[in-house]
């Protein structure tokens, strides 16, 4: 439990730092002279460079544990933000964002694998995942508005420098606080138990599972691309930060309902995807509904969905090779985050990007495999 608390604190600082950039990056790119299409590629390249990091991270985390990769991601990302404070041309921002995408690709799988390895009990693991979601959401509630406030008072350069030093400080805290023995051996112990007790069954529909994080990340990338483009100027940065915080407040509500962990993960995933789809349809077509109401509802769906998705992958993996499992999940999300903003930038003059997100989520919902009740212990291979 002590390790989980330390990890939650590091995750809060890291997520606070990263989410504070969301309302800032698009106006900053525009101030450098970037066009909307370039901004789409800038956001997409960050996700694309996640892929090599995710591919490398899976086996390395299973082999060496999570600790060193958490420290590396936090510290390296902080250094990149310090360099980002001195950017003067759009291509420089694109290059730094691409490097940032690679180094941060290790953070999420390492943190999730470490949390999941703290217990073999599915209910306890579900609580750890919910705690991860609560910390993530608390940070994302405060950080967008905080990032906008810092920009209004310190400018873009001061904001990136402040966030960069915060990440570096968090990396040093992780170095002195995360236990070496647990992070290096827990995953191997879990893998050995899983290999002795369970053998993965390669079912035909296993690849469908990775369409879920892909579609979620794609729709979220569209949202993060579209909202900052609603207006311009410093007032827009502040209002954008508030809108992102409204989403996080909605997610915090459902994340706080710990009794939801008692329900099957596949049921919660299905309801969360359906809720997201309805919200994106409302963003595309329901002009009479206040945007804050829609975004708060979208946050409710996210708060239900993300812990359930992690629990679903733990359940279907049998608790073994968690580094690889969450690495593959991160790869799917990276691809979605790459496709989403680029599609929004290319097709927003033809069709509402929100409607594209709605169609994608509904398609994934229809393809969602049913739970095999006759063999609840069946383990589905990621590939």
| 212-231 pLDDT per residue, tens | 889 988 998 888 888 877 65
Sign, Cα dihedral of 132, 112, 20, 281: negative
pLDDT at 181: 54
More confident residue, 220 or 10: 220
More confident residue, 32 or 381: 32
Residue 62, φ and ψ in degrees, nearest 5: -65, -30
pLDDT at 82: 92
More confident residue, 355 or 315: 355
Instruction: Tell me what percent of the residues of the chain surpass a pLDDT of 90.
Output: 9
More confident residue, 196 or 181: 181
Q: How confident is the model at residue 294 (pLDDT cuts 50, 70, 90)?
A: very high
- pLDDT at residue 268 tops 50: yes
Per the prediction, the chain carries an average pLDDT of 76
Over residues 312-322, the mean pLDDT reads 68
Q: Cα–Cα distance between 201 and 381 in angstroms, integer?
A: 6
- pLDDT at residue 247 tops 60: yes
Q: Cα–Cα distance between 358 and 355 in angstroms, integer?
A: 5
More confident residue, 376 or 146: 146
Q: Please, what's the b/e burial string for 138-171 (b: 16 or more CB within 10 A of its CB; e: otherwise)?
A: bbbbbbbbbbbebbeeeebeebbbbbbebbbebb
Q: How confident is the model at residue 146 (pLDDT cuts 50, 70, 90)?
A: confident
pLDDT digits 0-9 by tens, 190-211: 444 434 444 443 334 366 788 8
* Domain 206-369 falls under CATH 1.20.1250.20: yes
Contact 14, 107 (CB under 8 A): yes
Over residues 174-188, the mean pLDDT reads 60
Over residues 128-149, the mean pLDDT reads 73
CA atoms within 13 A on the CB side of 193: 13
Of the given ranges (1-5, 72-76, 154-158), which has the lowest mean pLDDT?
1-5
- pLDDT at residue 381 tops 60: no
Residue 257, φ and ψ in degrees, nearest 5: -85, 80
Which part of the chain is CATH 1.20.1250.20?
1-180, 206-369
Q: Cα–Cα distance between 137 and 78 in angstroms, integer?
A: 21
Contact 70, 172 (CB under 8 A): no
Q: What are the C-alpha distances in Å from 322 to residues 69, 70, 111, 310, 313?
A: 15, 15, 11, 11, 9
pTM, 2 dp: 0.63
- pLDDT at residue 57 tops 80: no
Q: How far is CA 383 from the centre of its chain?
A: 21
More confident residue, 355 or 130: 355
pLDDT at 374: 41
Residues 6+ apart with CB under 8 A from 70: 10, 106, 107, 110, 111, 114, 174, 178
Look up the CATH number of domain 1-180: 1.20.1250.20
pLDDT at 282: 92
Over residues 298-307, the mean pLDDT reads 87
């Amino acid at each position: 439990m002590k390790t989980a608390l330390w990890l939650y604190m590091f995750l809060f600082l890291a997520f606070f730092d990263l989410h504070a950039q969301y309302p800032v990056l698009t106006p900053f790119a525009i101030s450098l002279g970037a066009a909307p299409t370039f901004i789409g590629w800038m956001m997409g390249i960050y996700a694309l460079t996640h892929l090599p990091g995710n591919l490398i991270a899976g086996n390395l985390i299973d082999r060496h544990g999570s600790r060193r990769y958490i420290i590396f991601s936090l510290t390296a990302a902080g250094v990149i933000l310090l360099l980002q404070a001195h950017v003067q041309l759009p291509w420089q921002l694109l290059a730094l964002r691409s490097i940032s995408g690679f180094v941060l690709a290790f953070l999420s799988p390492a943190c999730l694998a470490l949390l999941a390895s703290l217990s073999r009990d599915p209910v306890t693991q579900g609580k750890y995942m919910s705690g991860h979601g609560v910390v993530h959401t608390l940070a994302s509630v405060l950080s967008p508005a905080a990032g906008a406030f810092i920009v209004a008072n310190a400018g873009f350069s001061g904001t990136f420098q402040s966030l960069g030093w915060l990440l570096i400080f968090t990396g040093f805290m992780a170095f002195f606080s995360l236990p070496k023995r647990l992070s290096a051996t827990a995953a191997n112990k879990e893998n050995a138990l899983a290999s002795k007790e369970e053998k993965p069954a390669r079912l035909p529909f296993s690849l469908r599972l990775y369409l879920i994080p892909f579609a979620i990340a794609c729709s979220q990338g569209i949202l993060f691309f579209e909202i900052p483009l609603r207006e311009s100027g410093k007032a827009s940065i502040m209002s954008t930060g508030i809108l992102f915080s409204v989403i996080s407040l909605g997610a915090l509500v459902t994340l706080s309902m710990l009794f939801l962990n008692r329900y099957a993960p596949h049921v919660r995933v299905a309801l969360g995807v359906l809720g997201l789809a309805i919200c994106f349809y409302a963003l595309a077509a329901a002009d009479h509904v206040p945007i804050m109401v829609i975004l708060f509802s979208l946050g409710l769906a996210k708060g239900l969905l993300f812990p359930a998705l992690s629990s679903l992958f733990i359940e279907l993996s049998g608790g073994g090779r968690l580094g690889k499992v969450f690495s593959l999940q991160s790869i799917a999300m990276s691809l979605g985050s790459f496709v989403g903003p680029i599609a929004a930038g290319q097709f927003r003059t033809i069709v509402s990007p929100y409607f594209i997100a709605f169609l994608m989520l509904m398609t994934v919902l229809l393809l969602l495999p049913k739970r095999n009740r006759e063999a609840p212990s069946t383990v589905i291979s990621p590939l």
